[in-house]
Amino acid sequence: GENVEQHPSTLSVQEGDSAVIKCTYSDSASNYFPWYKQELGKGPQLIIDIRSNVGEKKDQRIAVTLNKTAKHFSLHITETQPEDSAVYFCAATRGAQKLVFGQGTRLTINP
């Protein structure tokens, strides 16, 4: 089955700087890669996703890149703000298979 590795487990950046979180997956047939943000005491919430037919997708300050050959994808957050502090999870799946999550990255934005 699919296995998703995520790193770093913790990341601390200065407000206004950029943050990058990376994930690798094992199943070359996976074709859908979402990113979820989880704030304290809440359930995860989708922030951006990408399908295997594109290499990059951007939504305001966040972007995701996908390298199918290397089987890795990354989340990029630019101009970080205090409200970006949260735990971020990457995930991967194919077709109607179950979504497999990475271990999470705790992002802290320092003022």
Partner 1 sequence: EAGVAQSPRYKIIEKRQSVAFWCNPISGHATLYWYQQILGQGPKLLIQFQNNGVVDDSQLPKDRFSAERLKGVDSTLKIQPAKLEDSAVYLCASSLGASGNTGELFFGEGSRLTVL
Strands 19-25 and 4-7: antiparallel
52-111 residues in contact with partner 1 (CB under 8 A) are 89, 91, 93-104
* 76 vs 106 by CB, closer to partner 1: 106
Compute how many other C-beta atoms are within 10 angstroms of the C-beta atom of residue 25: 25
**What tokens does 22 get?**
């990376």
Site for partner 1 in 21-50 (CB under 8 A): 31-32, 34, 41-46, 49
The identity of residue 87, as a single letter, is V
Task: List residues binding partner 1 (CB under 8 A).
Answer: 4, 6, 31-32, 34, 41-46, 49, 89, 91, 93-104
